[in-house]
Amino acid sequence: MKYNVIEVKERVIADNDRVAAAQRARLQEKGIYFINLMGSPGAGKTSVLIRTIEALRNRFRIAVMEADVDSAVDAETISRLGVPVIQLHTAGLCHMDADMTARGIEALMEQEQGAPFDILILENIGNLVCPAEFDVGAAKRVMILSVPEGDDKPLKYPLMFEVSDVVLVNKIDTKEIFDFDEERFRENVRMRNPQAEIFPLSARTGEGMEAWFAWLAQEAERGVRK
């Protein structure tokens, strides 16, 4: 029984990779820079997203897709900022795949009646396991780990750290309280993924946020020029 499940999963993933690659090419052509944002529940995906929108909205037209198992809490929060947002429900599934994402993008474009945007951010389902396995067609994968989760997480969720281009270390202002060893964390990440960019920051205090904004702005500009 276990073997069957794995075979099905592999077939699903191979199909998914084709759909994702096509999606990536389409968005690049349109000059839309697409980010897949992943992290555990409560790591601060929505908080970082809000800060990022506030900081970059004057330079870029930003749109958001909120993926959740079953609620609309995050989409409501984001919609208060007045940027285009759509809520996607996975009906219990713990990840977004390329096809679901494509349908989301289509629905978002329809909702906004074709109004163009420069940066599109998918806030993926909150967990460090399944979203790592599915390419959704994003230009870059960004993951958030928050300090209270612990500096040992790259050891336990290696794939997520392997596939992420950027690691945002949120709630860095609580480092002392949680005995989070930043150097050890960096080493653990590097072991999995030497290329990953690491930004320690706090969405609450604003500490370290500028470096992340600068990285994203530069990346998006490169994407938009294409």
Task: Quote the distance between the C-alpha of residue 209 and its chain's center.
Answer: 16
Part in contact with another protein (CB under 8 A); list of ranges 40-48, 53-61, 109-117, 194-202: 40-48
* Options 24-32, 50-58, 79-87, 157-165: segment touching another protein (CB under 8 A): 157-165
221 membership: H or E segment, kind and range: helix 209-225
Phi and psi of 138, rounded to 5°?
-80, 155
Q: How far is the CB of 181 from another protein (least distance, A)?
A: 14
Cα(36)–Cα(175) distance, rounded to whole angstroms?
26
Calpha distance 38→141 (Å, rounded): 8
Give which of 76, 122, 128, 63 is closest to 96, Cα–Cα: 122
Decide whether 178 or 213 has the Cβ nearer to another protein. Answer: 178
According to the binding rule CB under 8 A, does residue 225 interact with another protein? no
Among 22, 25, 69, 115, binds another protein (CB under 8 A): 69
Q: Does 191 bind another protein (CB under 8 A)?
A: no
Residue 86: C-alpha distances to residues 24, 66, 75 (Å)? 19, 6, 7
With CB under 8 A as the contact rule, the residue among 3, 14, 29, 41 that binds another protein is 41
97-156 residues in contact with another protein (CB under 8 A) are 125-130, 133, 146, 148-150, 152-153, 155-156
- In the bound state with another protein, the residue whose beta carbon lies nearer, of 8 and 21, is 8
Q: In this structure, what token pair is assigned to residue 168?
A: 């945002």
Site for another protein in 194-213 (CB under 8 A): none
Burial class (CB in 10 A: 0-12, 13-18, 19+), 41: exposed
Distance in angstroms (rounded) separating the CA atoms of residues 77 and 47: 10
**Min CB(124)–another protein separation in Å:** 12
- In the complex, the smallest distance separating the C-beta of residue 203 from another protein, rounded to whole angstroms, is 12
Tokens at residue 94, please?
Answer: 């713990």
Secondary-structure percent of the chain, ordered helix, strand, coil, rounded to 5: 50, 20, 35
Least Å from the CB of residue 149 to another protein:
3
| Total residues in contact with another protein, by rule CB under 8 A | 39
| Part in contact with another protein (CB under 8 A); list of ranges 4-12, 55-63, 106-114, 215-223 | 4-12
Q: Which residues bind another protein (CB under 8 A)?
A: 1-2, 5-6, 8, 12, 40-42, 68-71, 73-74, 92, 94, 125-130, 133, 146, 148-150, 152-153, 155-159, 171, 174, 177-178
